[in-house]
Structures are given as structure tokens and as C-alpha cells.
Chain A
Amino acid sequence: MRAITKTFPGVKALQEVSLEVERGQVHAICGENGAGKSTLMKVLSGVYAAGSYDGEIHFEDKLCEFKDIKSSEAAGIVIIHQELALSPFLSIAENIFLGNELSTRGFVDWNKTNLEASKLLARVGLNDHPTTRVADLGVGKQQLVEIAKALSKQVKLLILDEPTAALNDGDSANLLKLIKHLQGQGITAIMISHKLNEIKAVADKVTIIRDGRTIETLDMHADEITEERIIKGMVGRELNNRYPEHTPRLGAELLRVEDWSVYHPVDQTRQVVKNVSFNVHAGEIVGIAGLMGAGRTELAMSVFGHAYGTRISGRVYKEGVEIQTNTVSAAIKHGIAYATEDRKHYGLNLLDNIMRNVSGAALSKLSRWGWVDSNKERLVADGYRKSMNIKAPNVASITGKLSGGNQQKVVLSKWMFANPDVLILDEPTRGIDVGAKYEIYTIINELADEGKGIVVISSELPELLGICDRIYTLAEGQITANVPREEATAEHLMQFMTQAKDQDAR
């Protein structure tokens, strides 16, 4: 791939990125969340059609212009997305040959389908019968089915987007072994991963991407490449004056969470949050740093009224007193608020206007006997529109038509109006331009100065370093460090974020 540039409205996702992968190698790509790794792979696999980006793709010395996934697959490039694309109620064999059915005169030849499928399953080391329903398999085995599906398409270059993100340790090790094994059969692989130990285990080369540019490509065999070396490439960004000054005035402890454990709502054997304890004081801004899949959002949403997960255990203390946060309304009543990372799906009613979104979490403050005082509501919402500098002609504007930054301000307004003591902000600046980010940081500081406890979840280390007084690092569902601002550096944090604590530590 040469000089790939891909722009989305308002953002340059990739700038002149080049990548060279040699036949028969395992090539890792790493970088922070949002660095552009997945976008690059989508360009390579034809998800973004030729013409929607600049630059050239050469595959086996030929210039390729893929119109769609089908044409890249015809060339032998198959991408396996992080979210598996299997149909759960079909059998393994049906999934493998979906869209590519083995048929004679329009009728599926089931004997041939199941026979071919079992041959492919043997290649990936899966013992299950091809007629097993995919829904009955664990995620690890489903991942193997995806790979078998790729093999059925005569894959030459296999792209794996964070293949182990959803797997437990045993399945991960298994998968890495398989990648090595396939390499022996002449299949080239590109693997996106956050986990540096995995990269060290299987990759021949690693390319680091940061802010939509290629930073460097390291040969894992040639030099002595340490994890620190890779981390430096991932975070090495200048910090300039993008954060407002702030001196914290700490008060008493507001919220303490102890021994918090959560299991995945579907796969109930997978522990997503493992014995996490943390606290936040009045006036304090606490950061939670973690890579994608570390369990940050899961932690926050489970504390906020058990809105995520099953088999939740642990204790929550508010100002030293144990409280129950079994439902969202109970959590809100106890003064906890959670502003989601996914505004569009969990934060806003995009069909409705600013006013009704702002008042949504605290209608009781505006109503008597179940009737809303709409004049008061309008005044409140208009007050936030002005003070938060929400760019919209009036509060009757539909939130679905606002920009990301302004939508985020509506979400913040909603929770400020609910007036909680503890505010958990999940990726408060995701998808927001630099100017609006500064405004949001200023608002966060003001809220802390009012004596609220703020928890900021973010995968952007510079952001956490810029605004937090204290930072916890979360890796694979466990807190791996609790670092005060003075001691925190990006390298230091990244080390804790990529390292997993020993499972049996307790």
C-alpha cells in the first residue's frame, strides 16, 4: 500500500500511509485507539471502494482497485473483523459457505458442503461437527470458524482485526498458534493488536500508526525490540497547550467501589471486570486508562445501575455509606451520573430536540404531579445552550442534526442539570474537534471545582495526562496501577495498560 489518504467529512483519518507486507510473514499493526488502523485495513479489503481514497494498493505486484469486499476476496485478501460476522443460527458448514454455496443446479449439495467444511475445520484444529450451530460454540471457536471460512476462499492474505480482544487466555494462545501454523502453509497475515506480548510472540514485523500516519516499521527479528520501544512509537506525541490549567481542591472521599466483578451478559463464563476497586474524592478528576476491550465501559455501566453485565458483585460506598445501585434510577438518586461513550446509541434521543434531551434525566425537578412545567424547562435548556455554547439556533433544534461536539454538550448539560455528586464521563471527547475539546475540558474542571467527583474514561493518554489528578490503568478487566498525576507519563501508563496482572494474584 502506498501513500494512502482517506478523508471523512471533517477528519483526515489517514495521511499518506504506506505499508509493505512480505509474503509469508505475520505483520502486526499497532497504535492507539483511533489511530487509523482499522480504516487502513478497510481500505485494503475493499470496504472503502477504490476512488474513495487516494493512493495505490499493489498486491502480488499488480495494481488493485477493489470495488467491494467481493473483489478483494477474489484476489485472495480476506478480513476478519473484530465483531464476528457469523449467522448464529446456521451451522458451521452453512456459515463457512455462506454466499459461496456448493451447489448443483441451484440446490445445495449438503454432503459436499459438510465434507469440505470438515476438511477446513481440521486445518484450523476444530473438532466440532460441521452441522453444529454456531450459537452453540464459544467465541474462541467462532473465531476459528471465521478463519476456516477465509481458508475456503483460497485466502492468501488474512487480515485479523484485534482477533484476541474477545477471547480468554487459552483461546488466545490457541489462535496465535494457528496463525503461526497457517504461516507455515504460506498464508500471509496482517494482525491488528493492542497486546504487545502477542505481537512479540507471533509477528515478524510491526508497523506503528499514530494519528493517521505511519510512524515506523520495526523488524522483530533484526533488532532487539522491547515492548518499551513499541510503546514509545505509539504515544510519542508532543503535548502542547491543549488543556486548560487547573489546580484541584480535594475534599473528602465521595465514592468508593470495592471488589467489583462483572461477567459478560451473553457469555457468562467470561469475567469482564475482575475485582476492581477505585475511589474518587470531591473536587477530584480521576482518569481510567485502558485500551479497547479492557472493560472500562463495562465497569462504568455496571456501577451505574447495573446497566451492563450479569453476576455483578462488589460494594459501592457513597461518602462512606454502602449504597445499592441496582437500577439506573437508584444510581441517579444516589447522585451518580454516567455520560456514555456512544452518544448516538445510549446518550441522546436523536429524534427529539435539545430541550427535551437536556431535561430527560431530571424531569422530576421540572414537574409537579406528573406535569412538566414547559416554560421552566425551556428556560433551563436555553440557559445551558448559552452557558455551554451549544451551537444551535434555539432549544427546539433536533439533536440528530447537531455536530458531535454540540451533541456531547447536550449530554453533559443533561447530567449537569441532574446535578449529580459523581459524574462518570466515558470518552467525553470522542469524535469532537480540538476547539470543542478545550471547551469540554474547561467544563469538566468547573464541575470539579464545584466539589463534584469526576471519573474520566478515555483511551487518549494525552487527554488523561492533561486533565486528571490521578489515573487508574485498566487491563483485561483488572486495575493494574493507580498513578498520581506527577508520576504519570504516557510510556509508564501504556506499560500498565498493555500488561495483564497475574490471574491468581489474589
Chain B
Amino acid sequence: MTAVSSALHYLTGQLRQIGLFIALIVIIIFFQITTNGITLAPINVSNLIVQNSYILILAVGMVMVIIAGHIDLSVGSVVAFVGAMSGVMITQWHMPWWLAIVACLVLGAVVGMWQGFWIAYFGIPSFIVTLAGMLTFRGLTQIALQNQQISPFPDEFRALGSGFLPDLGGGTSLLEPLTVILGVLATAGMILSDMKQRASRKKHGLEDEPLPWFVLKMVFTAGLILLITFLLASYRGTPIVLIVMGVLMVGYSAVMANSVWGRHIYAIGGNMHAAELSGVNTKRVSFTLFINMGVLSALAGLVFTAQLNLANPKAGDGFELDAIAAVFIGGAAVTGGIGTVVGAIIGGLIIGILNNGMSIMGVGTEYQQLIKGLVLLAAVAFDVFNKRRAKAATK
């Protein structure tokens, strides 16, 4: 194979990833033009991140559940339930805000244990258990709130949803300094870790990624991070929730790629029987996976409640569908075994930007739903088409 054809071969293998990035860019450019530049205005970018944060947090947990071959339909109701309980804890039980946050995360873990028990140890399909959860936790939300709304919340608690890191420039500088520092650090860290990984693969002769492609990818990603940094720094700085999301994305990507637990999740989704016969405790993996999902749902519930400054019995309605759509747009397989955390986040961003852009354009909600539905279908159809083509090629 010549260098060119081997590079092409490599790129066709990465078609899904490339397609996802290109789709994201095309959508951004499209809305940038149709909204006369509002899409990439600093204030809108900041809003985009803040307003989609809870869906992205849910998508991180959901992609892991889906990789393992399960599904979780209850996350929207769990978001509402945890939000409601945070309100009850703070305003009725007068708990300090930080204790309420900890207690809510523990509550999420308990919810996960409850659902995980029935799924992993009792053997009821996750679809049924979490469908039941969707109803029971919605009911518990209404009971906890007695069908009333709770508001307001203390400022410290609200910062989790809509706060920003302190402005080091005192609000007078053109670019907020702390954001610039963080952005540059993140870019440098990304470049260094990628180069280190490439070097180690190269050392063992295991590298097949063409160098120009590697450089292109790195320049692109670095450019993207710096662009976001610039935009955020010229508005109010770094949203606190962005830090939370950044930690989740990097942390869970590493967990899925390099932890024993993450490997076991891919293994049971890829081939349950083979995993069992390799000594993987499949029940425990499923159980812990739902605990994890419960904690992330609780976190999303806290962020959402903090953002709205309101605990509402109707909160989180339909969030599970947005999270699931994000995961599948991000390239996860319906049958399990395939998917990435980064893919799910990009999938979530695509949905978020579609929502945001169409709202700015003044497209009615009925058309927004229609378009989102078609995008989801197109993304999965592209996957299936790709897979069929790959199969035909190996024959």
C-alpha cells in the first residue's frame, strides 16, 4: 500500500468521527449565517453551554448505559425528583446548600441502586425498569413538592447552574484573564497528552494514524478550544458548569478507555456471553453502571434546578429523549458495544445548537421537533449505511 492509499484507508475507517465533526461545523456555519452572526456572539455561546449543560451531563451517563446494551428512560424524572428534594432540603429542612448538594448526589446513587437491583440481580429488562422509574420518580416528585413550586434558592447553590468563575480583571479588562489562562492550559494539556500518546504508540510500532491527519486534528481541536475561550473571555468568563462538564468529559473518557470497569462495560455490551465466560461479573457491572447513571442524573437535576432557581413538578420532562438522541447521533450502536463519551457530547451539542439556532431564527417548536427527529434518523441511517458498506467491502 502506498502512503496515500493507506492514509485514505485510515480516513475511511474514521468516517463516522469525521462526519460528526463536519456536521457540527456545517450546522454552526449555517446558523451563523442565517442568524446574522448571533449564534457565535459571546453571550450566545455562553448561554449555549450553560443551557445545554444538564443534557450533556445526562448524555455522558447515558452513553455508558447504552454501550452496555441497556437504556435508561427515567433520567428526566430523576432530574425532577432530585431537583424537588434539593428544594425541600434547603427551604423546608433548612440544610446548608453544600450539604443539600451532597445529600442529593447520595439520593441519586440510591435511585440508581434501586433500578440497578431490579435490572442486574432480578433480571428485568432495563427498558421496563426505567419506564417504571420514569413514572414512580415523577410521582415522588409531585408528592415531595405537593404540586407546588419551590423558589428561590440561595445564591451559592444557584452558582452551580448559572454562576461564573471570578473575574480576575475586575470586570474592566477586554478579555477575562482567568478564562484565557484556563483555555491556554487546556489547549496545551490536550496537545501534550496527544503527542505523548502518539510517541508511545510509535515506540511500539503501533501507529497507523497518518502524521498530517494527526496534526490537522490537533490544530482543529486547539483552534476550537481557543475560539470558545476567546468568546467566553469577551463575555463574562468561564461558567462554573463548564468546569464541571470538562472534568466529567475528560474523566469519563479516561474511565471508558482505560479503567477495568470501563473495559467491562464495553465487553458486556459487545458480547455478554463472552464477557461472562471471561470472568467478568456482568451483574455487578450493570448494577454499578446504574448507580453511576443515578448520580449523574442527580447532578443534572441540581444544575437544572440551580439554573432555573426553581424546583418544579414538571421539570426534566423529555430530557431522557434528548440524552438518548445525543448518544445515538454521537455514533453509539443500538445493540451496545460501540460508542464514546466525546461522541455523545458532540451529539448533545448538535441538538443544543439546533434548538438554539432555530429559536433565534424564530422557527416554531413544531418545526423544531420535526427537524430534530429527522436529524436523529439521518445520523443513525448514516451509521447503518456505513456498516453495510464496510461489510460488503470485507466480503
Contacts and interface: CB of A to CB of B under 8 A. Distances in A.
B3 interface: no
A166 interface: no
Contact of B263 (A340, A356, A378, A395): A356
Q: Is the interface of A mostly helix, strand, loop or mixed?
A: mixed
A351 B338 contact: yes
A79 B354 CA distance: 55
Contact of B337 (A349, A379, A414): A349
Q: For chain B, what secondary structure do more than half of its interface residues adopt (helix, strand, loop), or is it mixed?
A: helix
Given A349-B337, A352-B270, A363 B260 contact: yes
B270 A338 contact: no
A413 to B, nearest CB: 13
Given A331-B279, A363-B264, A370-B259, 10 more contacts: A304-B277, A329-B279, A345-B271, A348-B274, A356-B263, A359-B263, A360-B275, A363-B260, A370-B261, A371-B260
Contact of B206 (A305, A331, A394): A394
A361 B267 CA distance: 10
A367 interface: yes
A305 B276 CA distance: 10
Contacts of A49: none
Interface of A: 9, 304-305, 307, 327-329, 331-332, 338, 340, 345-352, 356, 359-361, 363-364, 367, 370-372, 374-375, 378-379, 382, 393-396, 401, 414
B200 interface: yes
Interface of B: 200-201, 204-206, 208, 257-261, 263-264, 266-267, 270-271, 273-281, 333, 337-338, 394-395
A364 B264 CA distance: 12
A414 to B, nearest CB: 7
Nearest to B277: A346
Given A364-B260, A367-B260, A396 B277 contact: no
A347 B206 contact: no
Contacts of A393: 208
Nearest to B9: A393
A328 B259 contact: no
Nearest to A307: B277
Given A371-B260, A372-B258, A351 B270 contact: yes
16 contacts: A307-B277, A327-B281, A328-B278, A345-B273, A348-B271, A349-B270, A351-B337, A356-B266, A359-B263, A360-B267, A363-B263, A372-B259, A374-B257, A382-B205, A382-B206, A396-B208
A347 B277 contact: yes
A360 B258 CA distance: 12
Contacts of A367: 259-260
A340 B277 contact: yes
Given A328-B277, A351-B338, A379 B263 contact: no
Contact of A371 (B259, B264, B266): B259
Contact of B273 (A327, A346, A356, A374): A346
B16 to A, nearest CB: 13
7 interchain residue pairs of minimum CB distance: A349-B270, A329-B279, A361-B278, A351-B337, A351-B270, A332-B279, A349-B271
Given A351-B337, A363-B263, A372-B263, A394 B277 contact: no
A360 B266 CA distance: 11
B206 A307 contact: no
Nearest to B266: A352
A338 B271 contact: no
Contacts of A9: 395
Nearest to A360: B278
A138 to B, nearest CB: 25
A113 B365 CA distance: 53
A345 B272 CA distance: 9
Nearest to A375: B200
A44 B16 CA distance: 44
A374 to B, nearest CB: 6
A345 B333 CA distance: 18
A475 B159 CA distance: 72
A198 to B, nearest CB: 33
Given A348-B271, A352-B270, A375-B204, A401 B394 contact: yes
Given A370-B259, A374-B257, A329 B270 contact: no
Nearest to A340: B277
Contacts of A370: 259-261
B275 A349 contact: yes
Contacts of B270: 349-352
A378 B276 contact: no
A414 B261 CA distance: 18
A395 B206 contact: yes
Contacts of A378: 201, 204, 206
A373 to B, nearest CB: 8
